[in-house]
Chain A
Amino acid sequence: SQQGEEDPQALSIQEGENATMNCSYKTSINNLQWYRQNSGRGLVHLILIRSNEREKHSGRLRVTLDTSKKSSSLLITASRAADTASYFCATATAGNKLTFGGGTRVLVKP
């Protein structure tokens, strides 16, 4: 069963625009992670936010976490064609176990 549900399922934007996707989860977590998957490839870790953090930045990525609402968002600023991929949130509980959401497919049009 999936812990995280992502919204939207798909997103199409122009290069240079910002992309925002959301993730909701059900149970208490240690941390929440975002991964990117290019078509036909494995997942690449993007950013991790711990349960006691509210916001984190990494380059053009900004992640927020609201544990009271059990939700997180990933913002990609100034998107590029190379950002075209599927983005997954994953919640971590004890023992590094990750439970992934269904993913958001992002298409950045040049």
Chain B
Amino acid sequence: DARVTQTPRHKVTEMGQEVTMRCQPILGHNTVFWYRQTMMQGLELLAYFRNRAPLDDSGMPKDRFSAEMPDATLATLKIQPSEPRDSAVYFCASVLGGLDTQYFGPGTRLTVL
């Protein structure tokens, strides 16, 4: 049963600390998306990659957020330094290029104190 995995599932950290979230897309999926979900803003697209190349990261605060795909099986989202307003659930989703259905991971719930 192929699925997107994300680690960690929960993260509590203090303001100013670095946070790294990881995502393993479904094997063979070449497009990966990062979303953030908050009560106030809902689901927002932060960035996405195709064939490991960043296509759009306009939704991401550039000064503190960075997203990479070191290889086809791993996508990372890093926040440095973290702030309380970054508290949210971060989702990764993957899709096989050319198709439309995105498969979401279970999310990482981040709390920045």
Contact surface of A with B, Cβ cutoff 8 Å: 2, 31, 33, 35, 41-45, 48, 88, 92, 95-103
Contacts and interface: CB of A to CB of B under 8 A. Distances in A.
Nearest to A99: B45
B43 interface: yes
Interface of B is mostly: strand
Interface of B: 4, 31, 33, 35, 42-43, 45, 48, 50, 55-56, 91, 93, 95, 97, 100-107
Given A43-B104, A45-B101, A96-B95, A101 B56 contact: no
A103 B37 CA distance: 12
B104 A44 contact: yes
B91 A42 contact: yes
A103 B38 CA distance: 12
Nearest to B6: A42
Contact of B43 (A45, A95, A97, A100): A100
Given A42-B106, A95-B55, A103 B42 contact: yes
Given A42-B105, A97-B56, A92 B100 contact: yes
A33 B48 contact: no
Contacts of A96: 31, 33, 48, 95, 97, 100, 102
Contacts of B42: 2, 100-103
Nearest to A6: B42
List the 5 closest A-B pairs by CB distance, nearest first. Answer: A42-B104, A100-B43, A43-B104, A45-B101, A42-B106
Given A42-B91, A88-B43, A103-B42, A98 B106 contact: no
Given A42-B107, A97-B56, A48 B45 contact: no
Given A99-B45, A101-B42, A48 B101 contact: yes
5 contacts: A42-B105, A43-B43, A43-B91, A43-B104, A99-B45
A33 B33 CA distance: 16
